[in-house]
Structure 1
Amino acid sequence: MQPCGRSRCHQCHDPARCRPAGTAAQAEDPRQVPAYVWLVPVALTFGICLLGIGRAVLWQDELATVSAGTRSLPDLARLCAHVDGVLAAYYVLVHVWVSAFGASPVSVRLPSALAMSAAAGVTAVLGARPFDRRAGLLAGLVLAGLPAASWVGQEARPSAITFLLVAVSTLLLVRAVDRPVTRRWALYGLAIVALGTMQLTTTVLVLAHVPTDKKIRFRIGLDAYLPPAARPAHPHASGSAASAPAPTHRRPSGRRRSKR
């Protein structure tokens, strides 16, 4: 049934189908998401992360962050060449931050609070794309209320920045699949590279980003680079074994006797 173009009718029984042309496309564009959808989760997450951010003493891993951030760049390079090389990018960021704002517990933990707040905003935008602004706002608020969010947001370690890069790369992937142009794919690739430099093990996120729809994978040319075992099964793909009807077993029928 074609959409009738009205806001609601008694024939379609589906308000989404009755929207005027272009309404759904505008709702999916993150630039069309109202500012409050992501600003409220950002502000709430930041406020929660600031509660008692300097109360707890720095624990062992945070002390390692302070030790690395207060070194000179040559000393930091020698440290990363022997220990914690996978955290070199994070330590460089901490070095720049500490040089500007000091190495107090509140100062070294503040980048994590900012990153977690930004991640809540990106999550809200992601939630608003396939659904609506209320779903996006709810997604951001749920993330803000998670105890793990405030815990990571008050820790001077790379987890919060890594979470932000995961959310950003996912949003960039959705945008690239919607309109697969070179610039959007380049931004997604840069986000994955930044994610890998921040925490190498998180690059397995690429496997979760592989679209499950065969048509989408074919559209972006992904099937040509994936081994068969890595291609997600799609039960509704045309011609697949999953969509083939199950064979029926019938008793062999003989020639019926004609009634006399």
Structure 2
Amino acid sequence: MSLDERAPTMVRAVSSPVPVHRRSPGPSKTLVVIAPLSLAIALGLWGLRRKNTMWGDESVTYQLAHRDLSHIWSTAQHIDLVHALYYAVMHEIFGLFGGGLLTLRLPSVLAMSAAASGVGLLALRLAGPRAGLLAGLVFPLLPQVQKYAQEGRSYAMVCALVTWATYALVAGVPHRARWRWAVYGSTMLLACLLHEFAVLVLVAHGVTLIVARAPRPVLRAWSVAAAGVVAGLLPLAIHSARQSEQVSWIGGPVRPNYFLVAAVVGMVCALVPLRVRGPVRLSALAVPILVLPGLLLLIASLVKPLFVDRYVVYSNIGFALLLGAGMDYFLRRQRSSRYAWIAAAVVLAALVQPSLSLRTPQSRSNDVTAIGAAVRKEGRPGDGLLYLAGQHRILTAANPEDTRLLTDMALAQDPVSSNTLAGVELPAQEIAARMLEFDRIVVVRAVGVHSLTNPQEEAKTSTLRRHFREYGTTHVNGARVSVYVRDHGMSPKAGPGSDSPGASGEVLR
């Protein structure tokens, strides 16, 4: 074939190049950080006041954070040592920004927002930009994350610290710089000092490194950092173990269903072929964080009940990572984005009802604002005030105006001066004698709580049964507020088995 005969073919080849399919660029790193952060802040601010209500645990934070640091420390020697650092942090925040309801909850909103950004960056590093964006956006949408992002407790801060400690762990594997492991160790220690059960994340991180077959220098660096965390936590753990009666209310696993469902769904997501970037696979990191802390608490609960869902809120980090990477895989498999939009719409529709209900006062186990308002409404100036049991005095302590005109008959020393949560009560005989000085008594009793059997509580219930009758009861979220009036016609010797009016003690069971 001559050169002239080949020329047309060559020209056609040059003029008709094969099109090159370029990979569309994924979301930028800035978007992976900003989008989850913005969504988390928006969801956190939505309905943050919960109709200006507060629940019992938040009330404890509110009361203790308003005390001086010396009083916080003195109180922690008797009770709630495990939360002492959090109360001290909130004390300083109240001093800077005022001690209102928004100030109580805003730190949790900001902490969960920081966690959302961290989750996005983790997924970006392990599975790519789109997986990072999706995981970061999924995280603040999870119902449990929405719930604890709006509570004045330490769990959101712990979740944020665990997130960024995990990021420091992943970043430390390929680089092995000592300062990275120092950051990891100090961040994990701070998380554990805010709540001891954050130490369970160390187990998850260790499993991750073993599964990822990390080099010996990395394992050695992690072991040193983990040992430092345990050593720093040990004094707090030893002293707080003496206050183990604080978790005596846990009769069994509390709200384990969310954890179990999340674990199953996360494990399903881990089965799909996820993208791998770097020495640590996303599933090798996410599955242990999602499963192991909760599983260890459930196993420990066979001996002593310890599982409460909020203690392992940080397991949502692993859940969001797996969901984001699973969604990324689904999108890569679909030629049309129509199905992706349909799936997203279904998920968002399913989250509407939980998101709305979480922002109502009924979403918590009690409402101290409603309890205090009921006491103020039912009580008259000069009435007696009685708590069954005395430890539930905290249910009306957030607003002293609710009980200002009533006389707390059992109180010997107030909570602040006694460095306690609920004050110190009089001996049983004195309580009974003081009760007989009143014709009307307002009684506050928490529902769903086991009755105490100490002499003071027995004296309260016995005196009410013998000498008073129920006049009326107001039921509010988490408590009953009853008014008892003196029945001067009742025999002093009448007991619970008497036929006298009100002797059955129906309200007191």
Normalization by structure 2: what TM-score? 0.37
Separation in structure 2 between the aligned mates of residue 224 and residue 99 of structure 1, nearest angstrom: 38
What is aligned with 2:217? 219
1:89 Cα offset (Å): 1.1
Deviations 1:180-234 (CA, angstroms, capped at 9, x unpaired) = 11111111110111111111111011110011247415232449969xxxxxxxx
What is aligned with 2:183? 187
Asked if 1:93 corresponds to 2:117, the answer is no
Separation in structure 2 between the aligned mates of residue 148 and residue 201 of structure 1, nearest angstrom: 17
Structure 1 pair 127–105 and aligned structure 2 pair: CA distance change class (3 A)? same
Q: Is the Cα contact below 8 Å between 1:217 and 1:223 reproduced in 2?
A: no
Pick one of 65, 69, 85 that aligns with 2:65.
69
What is the correspondence of 1:45-56 to structure 2 with a 5 Å cutoff? 45-56=40-51
Separation in structure 1 between the aligned mates of residue 29 and residue 122 of structure 2, nearest angstrom: 13
What is aligned with 1:173? 169
What is aligned with 2:265? none
1:76 Cα offset (Å): 1.0
The answer to which structure, 1 or 2, has the higher relative contact order (CA under 8 A, 6+ apart) is 1
What is the correspondence of 1:63-212 to structure 2 with a 5 Å cutoff? 63-210=59-206, 211-212=209-210
Separation in structure 1 between the aligned mates of residue 32 and residue 67 of structure 2, nearest angstrom: 40
Asked if 1:44 corresponds to 2:39, the answer is yes
Separation in structure 1 between the aligned mates of residue 223 and residue 186 of structure 2, nearest angstrom: 19
RMSD: 2.4
Structure 1 pair 143–72 and aligned structure 2 pair: CA distance change class (3 A)? same
Separation in structure 2 between the aligned mates of residue 62 and residue 215 of structure 1, nearest angstrom: 43
Large movers: runs of 4+ above 2 Å: 212-215, 221-226
What is aligned with 2:5? none
Q: Is the Cα contact below 8 Å between 1:143 and 1:149 reproduced in 2?
A: yes
Query: What stretches of structure 2 of length at least 5 have no aligned partner?
Result: 1-21, 225-509
1:178 Cα offset (Å): 1.6
Separation in structure 1 between the aligned mates of residue 222 and residue 121 of structure 2, nearest angstrom: 31
Separation in structure 2 between the aligned mates of residue 175 and residue 146 of structure 1, nearest angstrom: 26
Asked if 1:35 corresponds to 2:30, the answer is yes
Q: Is the Cα contact below 8 Å between 1:71 and 1:95 reproduced in 2?
A: yes
Separation in structure 1 between the aligned mates of residue 160 and residue 212 of structure 2, nearest angstrom: 28
What is the correspondence of 1:6-17 to structure 2 with a 5 Å cutoff? none
Q: Is the Cα contact below 8 Å between 1:41 and 1:144 reproduced in 2?
A: yes
What is aligned with 1:9? none
Query: What stretches of structure 1 of length at least 5 have no aligned partner?
Result: 1-14, 17-26, 227-260
Deviations 1:37-78 (CA, angstroms, capped at 9, x unpaired) = 110110111101111101241110000000111001111111
Q: Is the Cα contact below 8 Å between 1:122 and 1:167 reproduced in 2?
A: yes
Give the residue type in structure 2 aligned to 1:60.
Answer: G
Deviations 1:76-111 (CA, angstroms, capped at 9, x unpaired) = 111111111111111111000111112221110000
Separation in structure 1 between the aligned mates of residue 222 and residue 81 of structure 2, nearest angstrom: 34
Q: Is the Cα contact below 8 Å between 1:49 and 1:153 reproduced in 2?
A: yes
Structure 1 pair 120–223 and aligned structure 2 pair: CA distance change class (3 A)? closer
Give the residue type in structure 1 aligned to 2:216.
Answer: F
Separation in structure 2 between the aligned mates of residue 134 and residue 224 of structure 1, nearest angstrom: 29
Q: Is the Cα contact below 8 Å between 1:33 and 1:125 reproduced in 2?
A: no
Separation in structure 2 between the aligned mates of residue 104 and residue 225 of structure 1, nearest angstrom: 42
Give the residue type in structure 2 aligned to 1:80.
Answer: A
Structure 1 pair 212–146 and aligned structure 2 pair: CA distance change class (3 A)? same
Separation in structure 2 between the aligned mates of residue 223 and residue 115 of structure 1, nearest angstrom: 28
Structure 1 pair 71–124 and aligned structure 2 pair: CA distance change class (3 A)? same
Structure 1 pair 142–80 and aligned structure 2 pair: CA distance change class (3 A)? same
Q: Is the Cα contact below 8 Å between 2:181 and 2:221 reproduced in 1?
A: no
Give the residue type in structure 2 aligned to 1:49.
Answer: G
> Percent identity of the aligned residues?
31
